[in-house]
Structure formats: C-alpha cells, structure tokens
Amino acid sequence: MKFTLPIFDVKNLCFSIGDQEILSHISLEIFGAEYIAIIGPNGGGKTTLIRVLLGLEKPTRGEAKIFGKSIKDFKEWHKIGYVPQRATHVDANFPGSVEDVVNMGRTSQRKLFSRMSKEDKACVKDAMHKMDVYDLKDKMIGTLSGGQRQRVMIARALASKPEILILDEPNTGVDMTSQKKFYALLKQLNKEEKITIVFITHDIGVIADDIARLFTINQKAIICNNPKEALSCEEMSALYGIEAHLLHNHKHEH
C-alpha cells in the first residue's frame, strides 16, 4: 500500500496567524483506504490542519499535495467528502428534507441550475442507503435526532462518491447508541468500500480497534503507526492528557 501515491502528502507545513504559530513543521502522508484518527487538545490545530489540506487556508511555509498535485492546482474536490465541525447543528425550521440535504452533495458535479441526472439520483439513493437514512428521506432535517442528522451529513458527503471522507468531531450531542451505530457504519465504509477515513475525534478509546494509524496534533504532529501501543506511553499522557487516559482505560478493558 505504501508504494502508491499518497492522497495527502504534507511536508514541513507551518501555519501562523499573526505572531501565533498554530501548526509547526508538520509532515505526514495519508494513503488510500487508510482509517486515520486525529486527536489532540482543544485549540491544538486539528481543524486548522484540515482547512489547510482542503485549500481553505494557505500555509505560511511548507507544502501539501493532494493526489500528487499542489493544492492550488487541484480541481477534483468531489473526491473529498468533508463534514465540518457542528455540521449537525441545524435550525429546527430549516426548510429542507433529508433527500434535499443529500442532493446538495451532488452540486459540485452538476452545472449550475441543471436538473439532477439519473446518475445524480442513483448516487444520492446509494448514499442514503449506506448511512441508513433512506427511510427518513421525506422527513424535514430539523425534526431529526442528533444521531440521524449526523448520518444525513455523512450521506451528503458520500453522494459525491468521494475517495476520502474527512470528519471533524461529528459526534457532539449524539447519544452512545447512535455513536456505536455510526462507528460501525464508518468501519464498513472503510473496509468494504475502501474509502479513506480521516476522523478528528475525542472518542479515541471507542474506535481504537478500527483505526490503522493515529495522528496527534498539538501544534506539532506525532504519527503513531501502532495506535494502541503508542498511546499507552507516558509521554503521550503528558502531552495529551485526557485522550491518553481514555485509551489507557480501553487497554485495561480488553
């Protein structure tokens, strides 16, 4: 797997706002079909890193390539599904059904104001089935539970048939049972559809068995190729506090 071109290739990347250095000399690669979790303390720079990788922020130094291309030359954004933080916080009166929201996931492939093609409709249906929200398709999005909305937002990202899915803490306000279902669906997408998953989370203990690698971001990056072993070390505990304790507990449970 490591001999293929990485989806993301980041070298010596730095990002500052004014005098504040948010990301410092980050180098990492993300390969096809990997399942990666990103952890780190609040304000550590996880979201900023993703925003730089998606071309939403310009690095101060260093470079990031997507599918072998520099970000500024990359055009195939439909290959990347992104669910930002707080995407599930929808106004209760938002005037759209589940199907309307998932349809939005096809807009990057359609001409402005064009009708949905047969292919668009098939991709939307497939995405709703994969996230188990097809039965909810006519319900208004604002009336759904947090867990249902979470799955709809992933379905919207899946509608563009992405090769990589980037999720930024999509669990806020979602109960434990819904989270378990969600994690099982993500695992399935990764194992069966070979979709690369990059998951920013504070629930590392729950998905530790599913992930292949772990990136810890606290201004700098530490890449753990063997997440469970790496996370049990004292150094990690000192650096990342609560996340390291969570995994520590996880280790004792098994």
Contact 9, 209 (CB under 8 A): no
Q: Is 44 in the site for ligand ATP (CB under 6 A)?
A: yes
Q: Is 56 in the site for ligand ATP (CB under 6 A)?
A: no
Terminal alpha carbon distance of the chain = 29
> Between 9 and 169, whose beta carbon lies closer to ligand ATP?
169
Contact 32, 7 (CB under 8 A): yes
CB of 201 to ligand ATP, least distance (A): 10
Q: Is 249 in the site for ligand ATP (CB under 6 A)?
A: no
- Binding test (CB under 6 A) with ligand ATP, winner from 7, 8, 28, 40: 40
Q: How distant, in Å, are the alpha carbons of 21, 212, 214 from that of 40?
A: 16, 17, 10
Q: Is 47 in the site for ligand ATP (CB under 6 A)?
A: yes
User: b/e for 144-181, b at 16 or more Cβ within 10 A?
Assistant: bebbbbbbbbbbbbbbbbbbbbbbbbbbeebeeebbeb
Question: d(Cα 200, Cα 214) in Å, to the nearest integer?
Answer: 10
> Between 45 and 170, whose beta carbon lies closer to ligand ATP?
45
Q: Is 105 in the site for ligand ATP (CB under 6 A)?
A: no
Residue located via tokens 């920013």: 200
Which of these ranges, 38-46, 96-104, 184-192, 223-231, lies near ligand ATP under the rule CB under 6 A? 38-46
Q: Is 148 in the site for ligand ATP (CB under 6 A)?
A: no
Binding site for ligand ATP (CB under 6 A): 17, 22, 40, 42-48
